Amino acid sequence: GAGVSQSPRYKVAKRGQDVALRCDPISGHVSLFWYQQALGQGPEFLTYFQNEAQLDKSGLPSDRFFAERPEGSVSTLKIQRTQQEDSAVYLCASSLVSGGHADTQYFGPGTRLTVL
Amino acid sequence: AQTVTQSQPEMSVQEAETVTLSCTYDTSESDYYLFWYKQPPSRQMILVIRQEAYKQQNATENRFSVNFQKAAKSFSLKISDSQLGDAAMYFCALNQAGTALIFGKGTTLSVSS
User: A89: which residues sit within 8 A by CB, 6+ positions away?
Assistant: A36, A37, A110, A111, A112, A113
- Taking an 8 Å cut-off on Cβ atoms, the answer to whether A48 and B99 are in contact is yes
Question: Residue A90's pLDDT is what?
Answer: 98
Q: What is the pLDDT of residue B41?
A: 86
In angstroms, what separates the C-alpha of B90 from chain A's closest C-alpha? 9
More confident residue, B111 or A101: B111
Q: What is the pLDDT of residues B6-42, one digit of tens each?
A: 999 999 999 999 999 999 999 998 889 999 999 998 7
Asked if the Cβ–Cβ distance from A45 to B104 is below 8 Å, we say no
Spatial separation of the C-alpha atoms in residues A112 and A12, rounded to whole Å: 8
**What is the chain B residue with the closest CA to A48?**
B100
**Strand-by-strand arrangement of the A75-79 sheet:** A5-7, A19-24, A75-79, A65-68
| pLDDT band at residue A48 under the 50/70/90 scheme | very high
Closest CA–CA distance from residue B11 to any residue of chain A (Å): 15
All residues of chain A having their beta carbon less than 8 Å from the beta carbon of residue B93 are 42
B97 pLDDT above the threshold of 90:
no
Nearest neighbour of B101 by CB, restricted to A98, A99, A105:
A105
Is the pLDDT assigned to residue A101 strictly greater than 60?
Answer: no
| Peptide bond before residue A109 is cis, with ω within 30 degrees of 0 | no
Q: Please write the tens of the pLDDT for every residue from A59-69.
A: 999 999 999 99
Mutate to test the interface with B, among A5, A24, A30, A41 (most CBs of B within 10 A): A41
Contact B45 A43 (CB under 8 A): yes
Tens of pLDDT, residue by residue over B34-79, are 999 999 987 789 999 999 998 889 999 999 999 999 999 999 999 9
Count Cβ atoms below 10 Å from residue A85 Cβ, excluding itself: 10
- pLDDT score for A99: 57
